[in-house]
């Protein structure tokens, strides 16, 4: 074993890729390769691409794997230097057991998750070595490999003077997997767009700036997409009193962003309606939040970010269905004009709401958006919001909470989440909770319910249900999955952009099921 370790160290010392300074030719190349290996009793089982690479080296890769230590566990990686003239650095990553498949206990496809995890680890390792171009083994699932690579390499450093090297990726090996790879890249870029919007500071992503960014992203699909940036005057004309009550404390004007993606050849096809909460900064209003971690409330527009990013992705994929996206965008700020606790406001459908807590503002803006959305006679409605801290308490970052009046819609969302690994979990919509929000001293509804702390995520969902008549509606509370520390290994620390890929997969499934 001592001899084996010396052999690996010698290979590392004699290869200039380790520092990228010993050889100008290697400095210019800065190319890397990520290959996968499955767990096998007593050793490794190479993927098809890794086996082909090994064969081209007359078995050198297999030999190095044997002498470099114990078998690679899933998500772990090992670097080899100087073993191939085109790739100064080769990262070999552990994929876990071959064909692990769908796990009912975990509610995801374990094989796909293992690939995402492993590929992201390999790509990051090469990025740390200042490699600027990486070829990636499909590992038997090119889409998952692409998602792992693109999601794993994302970082928000737009406002830093010193940035990490940008890394480009491409599929290594069989051209048969190219379509899956491209699909994975598109899915991951969609989630990264949501991460970009959520991570940006609130003075850079105001309601106006948010709407402008999405309009720019959709410009390439102008033949299929219509973007309407509705002004405050339009919002007032629509009598969206609940939405307007939230906007009153801020100097930033609200925007009601309306997106129409017409992907179906049947222009009469009822659209899928996606509605996202778009509070670009949430101070809590007069019911001011505690100052620690208030900066994270720049991402309180995560619902709008994931919804709009999903539509950008659907357009890029040319999905054959019609989608309408609605994003009420505003800030929730305290001022002399702000809504006061105890005020009563009137929603678009005429229902009055007693606002006992101005920090329960997301449900107010969604209420008016849901009322407006029904005018399009959608086939299904999905609203997405970082709505309640109670959701984070209930599920943490493991899954998005789903409240729905439709078993069919739940099944579709759940099926999509198993594929993406970005899980959902069904929560109750009992009449028990509805009674709590309709028992109000001054108005038809109370925005925090009778017992403000008990079942907070459930009472918030019950409040939204008061503005829904569609038989197929789902409310996704994404407060718990808004950010990532280390829970999802292929996402770096920061805003997560979840569950964008699940929304896209759900829309794609809907499109192809007719």
Instruction: Tell me the catalytic residues.
Output: 289, 363
Report the 3 state secondary structure along 430-441: CHHHHHHHHCCC
Rounded Cα distance between 419 and 506, Å, is 10
- The separation between the first and the last C-alpha atoms of the chain, rounded to the nearest angstrom, is 60
Give ∠ CA 454-458-463 in degrees, rounded to 5.
110
The beta strands (E) that lie in 367-509 are given as 380-385, 400-404, 424-426, 445-446, 473-477, 483-484, 494-495
Which bin fits 377, alpha (ψ -120 to 50), beta or left (φ > 0)?
left
Distances (CA, A) of 359 to 75, 199, 255, 373: 40, 21, 20, 24
Rounded Cα distance between 19 and 166, Å, is 17
- The token pair at 333 is 């700020």
C-beta separation of 95 from 74 below 8 A: yes
C-beta separation of 378 from 324 below 8 A: yes
Dihedrals phi, psi of 165, to nearest 5 degrees: -60, 140
Strand partners, 474: 382, 404
Rounded Cα distance between 434 and 432, Å, is 6
Rounded Cα distance between 243 and 207, Å, is 13
DSSP 244-265: HHHHTT-SSPPEEEEEEEE--S
Closest by CA position to 424, among listed 409, 437, 440? 409
- The token pair at 130 is 């200042």
- The token pair at 346 is 């009137």
> Tokens 């929603």 sit at which residue?
347
What is the 8-class DSSP label of residue 507? H
Residue 254: half-sphere exposure toward Cβ, Cα within 13 Å:
30
| Radius of gyration from C-alpha coordinates of the chain | 25
C-beta separation of 247 from 356 below 8 A: no
> Tokens 């590929």 sit at which residue?
119
Dihedrals phi, psi of 219, to nearest 5 degrees: -60, -35
């Amino acid at each position: 074993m001592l001899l084996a370790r010396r052999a690996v160290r010698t290979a590392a010392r004699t290869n200039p890729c380790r520092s990228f300074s010993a050889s100008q030719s290697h400095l210019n190349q800065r190319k890397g390769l990520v290959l996968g290996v499955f767990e096998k009793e007593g050793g490794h089982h190479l993927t098809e691409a890794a086996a082909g690479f090994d064969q081209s080296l007359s078995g050198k890769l297999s030999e190095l794997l044997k002498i470099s230590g114990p078998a690679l566990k899933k998500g772990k990686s090992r670097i080899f230097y100087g073993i191939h003239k085109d790739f100064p650095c080769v990262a070999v990553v552990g994929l876990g057991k071959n064909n692990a498949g769908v796990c009912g206990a975990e509610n995801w496809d374990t094989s796909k998750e293992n690939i995402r995890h492993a590929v992201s680890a390999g790509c990051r390792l090469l990025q740390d070595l200042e490699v600027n171009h990486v070829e990636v083994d499909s590992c038997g699932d090119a889409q998952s490999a692409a998602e792992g690579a693109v999601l794993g390499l994302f970082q928000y450093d737009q406002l830093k003077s010193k940035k990490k090297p940008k890394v480009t990726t491409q599929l290594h090996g069989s051209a048969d997997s190219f379509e899956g790879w491209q699909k994975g890249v598109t899915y991951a870029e969609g989630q990264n767009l949501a991460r970009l919007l959520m991570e940006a500071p609130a003075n850079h992503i105001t309601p106006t700036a948010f709407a402008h960014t999405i309009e720019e992203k959709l410009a390439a699909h102008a033949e299929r997409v219509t973007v309407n940036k509705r002004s405050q005057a339009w919002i007032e004309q629509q009598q969206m009193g609940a939405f307007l009550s939230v906007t009153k404390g801020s100097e930033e004007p609200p925007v009601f962003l309306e997106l129409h993606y017409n992907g179906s050849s049947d222009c009469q096809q009822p659209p899928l309606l996606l509605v996202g909460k778009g509070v670009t900064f949430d101070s809590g209003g007069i019911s001011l939040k505690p100052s620690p971690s208030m900066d994270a409330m720049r991402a309180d527009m995560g619902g709008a970010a994931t919804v709009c990013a999903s539509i950008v992705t659907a357009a890029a994929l040319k999905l054959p269905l019609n989608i309408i996206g609605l994003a009420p965008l505003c800030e929730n700020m305290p001022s002399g004009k702000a809504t006061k606790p105890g005020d009563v406001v009137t929603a678009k459908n005429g229902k009055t709401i007693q606002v006992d807590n101005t920090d329960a503002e997301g449900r107010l803006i969604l209420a008016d958006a849901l009322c407006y959305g029904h005018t399009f006679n959608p086939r299904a409605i999905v609203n997405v919001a970082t709505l309640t801290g109670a959701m984070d308490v209930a599920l943490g970052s493991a899954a998005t909470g789903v409240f729905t009046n439709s078993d069919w819609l739940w099944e579709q969302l759940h099926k999509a989440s198993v594929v993406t690994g970005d899980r959902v979990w069904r929560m109750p919509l009992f009449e028990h909770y509805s009674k709590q929000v309709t028992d109000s001293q001054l108005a038809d509804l109370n925005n925090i319910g009778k017992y403000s702390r008990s079942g907070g995520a459930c009472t918030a969902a019950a409040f939204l249900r008061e503005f829904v008549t569609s038989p197929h509606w789902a409310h996704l509370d994404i407060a718990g999955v808004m950010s990532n520390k280390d829970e999802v290994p292929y996402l770096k620390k920061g805003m997560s952009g979840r569950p964008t890929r699940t929304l896209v997969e759900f829309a794609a499934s809907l499109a192809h099921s007719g």
